[in-house]
Chain A
Amino acid sequence: MKTNITAILIWLSVAFLGACAVGGIALHRGESINALWFITAALCIYAIAYRFYAAWIAATVLSIDATRATPAERLSNGRDYMPTNRWIVFGHHFAAIAGPGPLVGPTLAAQFGYLPGTLWILFGAVLGGCVQDMMTLFFSTRRDGKSLGQMARDELGAVGGVAALIATFLIMIILIAVLGLVVVNAMKNSPWATSTVAATIPIAMLVGLYMYKLRPGRVLEGSMLGVILLLLSVVGGGWIDGQAGLREWFNHPGLTLAFAVIGYGFAAAILPVWLLLAPRDYLSTFVKLGTVTLLALAILWMRPDIKMPALTQFIDGSGPIFGGKLFPFVFITIACGAISGFHALIASGTTPKLLANERDIPMIGYGGMLLESMVAMMAMIAATVLDPGVYFAINSPNGIVGKTAVEAVATISAWGFPVTVEQMNLLARQMGEATLFARTGGAPSLAVGMASIFGSAFGQGMLALWYHFAIMFEAIFILTTLDAGTRVGRFMLQDMLGNIWKPLGRTSWYPSVLFTSAIVVAAWGYFLYIGIIDPNGGVNILWPLFGISNQILAAIALCVATGILVKSGKLKYAWITALPLIWLVVITTTASWQKLASSDPRIGFLAAANSLSDKLAAGTLPPDKAATAPQLIFNQQLDAVLVLFFVLLLWLIVVDMLRVCARHLRGKPVPPLSEAPHHVTQLEEAWQRD
């Protein structure tokens, strides 16, 4: 009884502290607010959500059964199915779900001010994203580790399965394009960044050779060697930048770099995995975990002040980084970190095959996503500790604020965010760059934010090194996602084409590998190319498209989960997944509608196409813009078709799910639950724990 009272008191004080912190963040209107409030709010909310909501879902709604053998135990084959220690599974799951998304999204959404993004990261994660991940993990575990697409087909019908497959493929293409754009914008006209990022390729290959030929399977040795070389490459990039002749080798405009990234993507897709993809992934995982930990420590140590206002005037839809009102676009921009449909692909198919016991599901599914949400929170802090003027100067594309530095600072200062050319020049010099203007995409402003936090925690003298370290850190796992995504896209395409002509489906037949890789690379390469030549910054088009497609995948996962809950007679608990689902349907449909029908050319695809073709017809465009205008017009129309397709896909599967639920409730036949039969676990650990 005594411990009960102590526990109640502790949790009440956590709740009180959390409420104070959230209230403080939400109601504060002043010069600046300390980042510690954000961390406190996040930790309290996560702790309460995990202890009560996740535990309640696990016990009451899912009825998690610790005595039930998991597929990892029943189907153990020493390869993909293998019961594994829960901390190890947690590590693998987190490394798989946390990519560049939670770093870029919050940085872009900071244009609305710190408040909307922060609240969405906190509440979107605990009520939406974490629930989606945990439910999908649970349902897949009960179904022998089936993938989301297979579950959709079994539980809802063929429509759901096909929708999940197509959504996954398209999301992959757009994701890779937008990530490529982020890297290119970080490298353009920067010999230091370009040479460092370029050096990661031979370093990864060297590590690959080491792990494969010299010392097979010695992953730690190889990774340590690689991490040291990566750090040297950051220093070496600075040296190259100082050599008058050498630096020109790496000094390129965006378009050249875009073609380099496209070429690299193709090469990476057809090279054997051990040579590039696998070693790069080891390196990026180590660098990612290390840097995120370091950033957390630095934020705790420095407790920097947030300088961005709570809300900016751009909530009206006139934002420079991407057009669109606060509702729905903040919810579209921050997908990873709040709710990301992509996670459902990892939580089904991959992680369940390692799970030793069902009772680890809340920790891995819910807890893994909480940690990613924390990463998003730190990205938000790193973006908002910058002076708002500096933040907008780095992130606003030329087409919005003006081509020259003088024009840009005049526009941004007129918005009420004072910034001077001298300030930007000084900052660029400190960071070892020629200019920081118009580096849209989130990576450079995040790097400046991280560099200033690291710099003030560990010494100002090395700002340029920290900046390029942060760029290298982002680039290395963006390129990993690019490699891995191209490969997965290739497999999916081969799978689909195999239905048309058998040999194309053979994943190891080289002509098929070349052919399908080329199609996938051409698909994302096209969007990347358009993103670079678009004067309004491709991020304005691509990031919302990516957000919409990612949320639609999340909606598909939540549809599957809701359908299963209703079919298992748990209608009264169906709101757990139905509420986030309704919210996602509302925001994605609204956003898609605005992307189609808005008369503002910065929001509506068709409006943009029309306004550009009007200008082209009237002959008011300068010759260089007139040359690219037809491509841009076509692209806007293509994007309109794409977004229409996405939203139709979404409604198709929602209606299908409602149909299945309604039939079930009226006692008509529906596809049966595909849950695997109950077997009692033989693993001793299940009985010993606690």
Chain B
Amino acid sequence: MAKRLNNLLRGQSDETTSHSTRSPKNGNQVAGYAALRAHSTPSQPFALCLRRSLCRALHLDLLATVLRWFNANRIKFWRTLRELSGDDGFDRYLSLHAVAHPDTTPLSRSAWFAHEQQQKWTGIKRCC
């Protein structure tokens, strides 16, 4: 993750290398960028030129890099978000239960949630 962040901070040149090795889809896109950067090919369609200047004006290339970075790590983000919010609490409970008490049936989803809420709000949980 840190390496990817560094790449991102350093700019596109590193990002090009890192992406071209990752997946063919990204590789194509990066090849497109490289062609844009070369700028000299007469066959370059007008649309591409326009896109390039727009990208420059709006820093869209940076945005695209950021979005691609998010996309590449989307599963990780989703997992973190679920873990942070407690959305995956029941799954974690089930796996813990399977290890700790394999011989008993675990609580149902709604019984577990009711128990969890009650337990969460019996101490000092919020502050000024």
Interface residues of A (CB under 8 A from B): 78-80, 85, 87-88, 91, 96-101, 168, 175, 179, 211-213, 216-220, 223, 273-274, 277-278, 281-282, 286, 335-336, 340, 342-343, 345-346, 349-350, 480-481, 484-485, 487-488, 491, 507, 546, 550
- Chain B nearest CB from A286 CB (Å) reads 8
Are B109 and A340 closer than 8 Å at their CB atoms?
A: no
- B interface, over-half SS: helix
List 12 extra interface pairs beyond A99-B127, A484-B125, CB under 8 A.
A79-B119, A87-B84, A213-B110, A217-B89, A274-B113, A274-B114, A281-B126, A286-B85, A335-B128, A340-B127, A345-B127, A346-B125
A342 touches B127 (CB 8 A): yes
Taking the nearest CB of chain B, how far is it from the CB of A483, in angstroms? Answer: 9
Distance between Cα atoms of A280 and B96 in the complex (Å): 28
Q: Which of B9-17, B19-27, B59-67, B75-83 contacts A (4 or more CB under 8 A)?
A: B75-83
20 residue pairs of the A-B complex, CB under 8 angstroms, read A78-B93, A87-B80, A87-B84, A88-B80, A96-B127, A99-B126, A175-B128, A212-B113, A217-B87, A217-B89, A217-B90, A217-B109, A217-B116, A219-B87, A274-B117, A349-B124, A350-B125, A484-B125, A488-B123, A550-B128
Which residues of chain B have C-beta atoms less than 8 A from A101's C-beta? 127-128
Looking at A286, A335, A346, A480, which has the most chain B CB atoms within 10 Å of its CB?
A346
State whether B83 touches A100 (Cβ < 8 A). Answer: no
Q: In the complex, how many angstroms separate the beta carbon of B95 from the nearest chain A beta carbon?
A: 10
Cα distance, A168 to B89, chains bound together (Å): 31
- A211 contacts which chain B residues (CB < 8 A)? 113
Residue of B nearest to A483 (CB): B126
Using a CB–CB cutoff of 8 Å, the interface residues on chain B facing chain A are 80-87, 89-90, 93, 96-97, 100, 109-110, 112-114, 116-128
Total A-B Cβ pairs within 8 A: 105
Report how far A281 CA is from B120 CA in the complex, Å. 11
> With contacts A217-B89, A217-B112 known, is A97 near B127, CB below 8 A?
yes
**Chain A residues positioned under 8 Å from B117 (CB to CB):** 212, 273-274, 278
Min CB–CB distance A279 → chain B (angstroms) = 9
A255 to chain B, nearest CB (A): 25
Q: With a 10 A CB-CB cut-off, give which of B100, B112, B119, B124 has the most chain A CB atoms.
A: B124
Residues of A within 8 A of B127 (CB): 96-99, 101, 340, 342-343, 345-346, 481
A98 CA to B87 CA, complexed, in Å: 21
CB-CB under 8 A from B124, the residues of chain A are 168, 345-346, 349-350, 488
User: When the two chains form the complex, which single residue of B80, B83, B121 contacts A278, counting CB atoms closer than 8 Å?
Assistant: B121
B113 shortest CB reach to chain A, Å: 4
- The answer to whether A484 touches B85, judged by C-beta atoms less than 8 angstroms apart, is no
The answer to whether B128 touches A85 (Cβ under 8 A) is: no
Contacts A80-B119, A212-B110, A212-B114 hold; do A220 and B125 have CB atoms under 8 A apart? no
How far apart are the CA atoms of A91 and B82 in the complex, in Å? 12
A289 nearest CB across to chain B (Å): 9
